[in-house]
Amino acid sequence: MYLDKNFHEELELLTLFNLNTSQEGIKIHHEASKERISAAQRIFDKGLSTQMDGGYLTPLGIQAAEHVQALVMLLKIEI
């Protein structure tokens, strides 16, 4: 399975959300890279966030971010 750059950008964006609180979102400023801005738009279009430029995670977005962040932690474990 090939994971394209857009998919990678979306995963990376989901790792930026703090899952320890629902009171903290993210803001993608217009100075961000065009890839980051596009990823935020795609995350929003998929119903994972509340705003085109970040915002808060939706319930589905929380679930997605939990999985992404868990996978990242698993892959960082050194055996």
- The answer to whether 21 and 48 have CB atoms below 8 angstroms apart is no
pLDDT at 78 over 90: no
Integer Cα distance of 56 and 44 in angstroms: 10
Report the 3 state secondary structure along 19-61: CCCCCCCEECCCCCCHHHHHHHHHHHHCCCEEECCEEEECHHH
Residue-wise pLDDT for 7-34, tens only, equals 999 999 999 999 998 889 999 999 999 9
DSSP state of 75: H
Give the model's pLDDT for residue 1: 86
Integer Cα distance of 50 and 55 in angstroms: 5
Give the model's pLDDT for residue 79: 66
pLDDT at 69 over 70: yes
Domain map (residue ranges) of the chain: 5-16+32-76
